Every structure is written in structure tokens, then in C-alpha cells.
Amino acid sequence: MEINGKHYRTIWLKENDPTTIQIIDQRFLPHELVIEDLRSVDEFAAAIKEMHVRGAPLIGGTASLGLYMACLEAPEGEAGMEHISQSLAQLRSTRPTAVDLFSWTDRVFQSLQKGQNKAERTALALETALEIIEESAEHCRLIGVHGVDLIKTISEKKGGAPVNVLTHCNAGWIACIDYGTATSPVYAAHEAGIPVHVWVDETRPRNQGARLTAYELGQHGVPHTVIVDNLGGHLMQHGMVDIVFVGSDRTTRAGDVANKIGTYLKALAAHDNKVPFYVTLPHSTIDWNIRDGLKEIPIEERGSEEVKFIQGQHEGKIKQVLLTPESSPAINYGFDVTPAKYVSGLITERGICPASEEGLLKLYPEQQAVLK
Ligand code: MRU
């Protein structure tokens, strides 16, 4: 997608230096566009943990290239595999909720193990990581191809008046490799000339909506309005939201969805007001090993300073300011689980299905074989 008219992805190999990976350091957006070089596994792990990169697919993509970096760093022989295994564990310990981190690194690790020496392992790790990244970008594009029909139908019913979409957090291209998940149908509608407007939840405490979703929609000329997290219910009660699109960090095979904290409350409000609530996800976000999201999805708890301090720009400088009494404790769960019963449908790269095991298996019949 584009920033200031220039095409970007969120992660790429540095031109003329394939031993360096470049990312957009999202901590500085929307105020500054900072490109960061990653040159060691430690830097990869820090970039994921400290959220220079974030969003389920991008976490997975970054960790996958982190394994390529581990191969570059590794010595020849036994000690080399030891370093790669330790790096795998280090990368996987960064964030617990998004399943892409685990499934993608599994795939890269399995592939590189086929290499007989350092050079072969490095080449396999890079090839597999890039293959997954390409696949993910294409899957996000296809989510838009399928999801846009929902917007089109609403637009026709409204006689062409703008379709009001509400979204939470940033499930946009900045959270993925390209296109985004929740934003992909919106971009597809915008491209097709269907008038669309997005209500952007600010998404406390890190404000991924206010900072990132607003930024990327603005860069693409998509009309949008930033709202406080508590406004969505009121807008829905007054008929001002036509459809909700959110992303997913982990979807169980029964259709329960873990996404950014606050998603569940939006689902409840949507349910009460009969507003369609769709979850957009590439199949990489489905955890086929679990069914009960509330019991089985690990929920990340982050530092309380993210709640107590807020970041913004003042006189051209990015600053953190204290928001609460200094001594007040705060708690910071990063995700919640929306039970499948509140989800109108799942939009994947293969099409739209009910949020249920039956629905998912119709789209992914090959998973029947691994049913536990
Ligand atoms: O904590 P974050 O910013 O990594 O959380 C991101 C989200 O919750 C997104 O909605 C989710 O990863 C889906 S991204 C396409």
C-alpha cells in the first residue's frame, strides 16, 4: 500500500544487502516514518516484543525472517542448529496470543532443517519466509475481494449513501504485509468507487486505531473519523454503523476470536443492535488445535506503563505523558475473546463462512483429516 504516494510493504530485504531486513518502526507513526534495520536475532525479538512491528501476520512474518537471521548468525555444524533452535525459542517467547508467530516459524524451521549445512539452511529459511510473506499478502488481498460484496450490498440498500464501517485496533496493511485484513474490503470498496466511511476506534492503551488505522486510511484517501473506544455502542444505537470489520490474532476451529482488547464489547453492542459483525482473517490465524477460545487462547498481559502513560506529539517532538496518579496501579490485558455466537461471519481468503467448526471445515475441508 502507499505512504506519500510511494508503495511500501511493512517488511523487506534491504536493497543491495540481503543480510539486513528493514521494517517500518511503528512506534513513531503517524508523526514520523522511521525505517529500522534489523541485523541480529536479538534485534528481531526486541522489534516484536516492544512492538516496533505488531499485528498477527506481521509478527509472524518478522519472526520468520528472524529465523533466516538466525541461520546467518549460526556457526557451521551442530552448534549452528543449536543457535537456530535457541533463536526459535527466543522469537516465540516475544508475544503469546497471535498464532501466526508459532505456525509460521514452525514452517520455516521445518524447511531449514532439511539443509545439510549453513548455506543450505540459510537459503531454505529465506525462501520459506519469503514464500509465507507473499502468500499472506495475497490472502489479505483476497479477503478484500470477498468482503467487498458485503459493503456493496449495503451500499445498494442505502441508495449509494456512504457505508459506515466500524473497526477496532489496526487490522490494516500496517499490521500485515500488505492490504490488511479488516481494511482490505474497505480498500476494495474505495477502489471500486463505492462510497465508504470508517469509524476508527482509538484503541487504548496503545492507540493503534488513532495512530495507525487513521494514518493508513488517510494515506489512501478513505474518509474516516477517529472515535473514542466508548462511542461505538452509541453510534450503533443510532443507526450510524452499517457493519463492523475486525481482525483476529487467533481464531479457534469453533470460531471464537481473540483480537485486541475491547473487540468483545463491540461485538456485544453490534449483537444488541443487529449490526453485522464480521471477523476478517487469513487462514494462518486459525488455530485448528483448539475450540474453546476463552479457556484455551493465551492472553498477553503487557506492562502497566502503557495504560498509565500516553504518547503524542508536542512541538514537533514525540513525548510520553503521565495520565494517572503516579502511584495508581494499572492492568493491561492485550486481547479478549469474542465467542463465535456474536460473530456474523468469518471472511477468509477462500470466502465467507459462519463462525463455526462446520463453517470453517466447509472452506478448509483438508483440516477434517487433522480433527482431534
Ligand atoms: O497488539 P497488536 O497491535 O499486535 O494487536 C493487533 C490486533 O489485535 C489486530 O487486530 C490483529 O492482529 C489482527 S491484524 C490483521
Domain locations along the chain = 2-135, 145-369
Maximum alpha-carbon separation in the chain = 67
- The 10 Å CB-count burial string (b at 16+, else e) for 154-183 is bbeeeeeebbbbbbbbbbbbbbbbbbbbbb
Give, using CA atoms, the residue closest to atom 5 of ligand 1.
55
Does ligand 1 have an atom closer than 6 angstroms to the CB of 260? yes
- pLDDT tens for 299-333 read 999 999 999 999 999 999 999 999 999 999 999 99
Query: In this structure, which amino acid lies at residue 236?
Result: M
| Residue range 145-369 in CATH 3.40.980.10 | no
Overall average pLDDT of the 28-54 stretch = 98
For the chain, give the percent of residues with pLDDT over 90.
Answer: 97
Overall average pLDDT of the 204-232 stretch = 98
- pLDDT tens for 260-314 read 999 999 999 999 999 999 999 999 999 999 999 999 999 999 999 999 999 999 9
Residue where the block lists cell 529459511: 125
Ramachandran category for residue 5: left, alpha or beta (phi over 0 → left; psi -120 to 50 → alpha): left
Overall average pLDDT of the 144-164 stretch = 98
Atom index in ligand 1 nearest the CA of residue 176 equals: 15
Does ligand 1 have an atom closer than 6 angstroms to the CB of 172? no
Residues of the chain by 3-state class (helix, strand, coil), percent to 5: 45, 20, 35
Overall average pLDDT of the 25-53 stretch = 98
Q: What is the SS3 assignment for 131? A: helix
Confidence at residue 372, expressed as pLDDT on a 0 to 100 scale: 64
Confidence at residue 370, expressed as pLDDT on a 0 to 100 scale: 76
CA of 170 to the centre of ligand 1 (A): 6
What is the CATH code of the structural domain delimited by 2-135? Answer: 1.20.120.420
pLDDT tier at 148 (50, 70, 90 boundaries)?
very high
Nearest to 350 by CA among 267, 285, 293, 292: 285
pLDDT tier at 128 (50, 70, 90 boundaries)?
very high
pTM for the model: 0.97
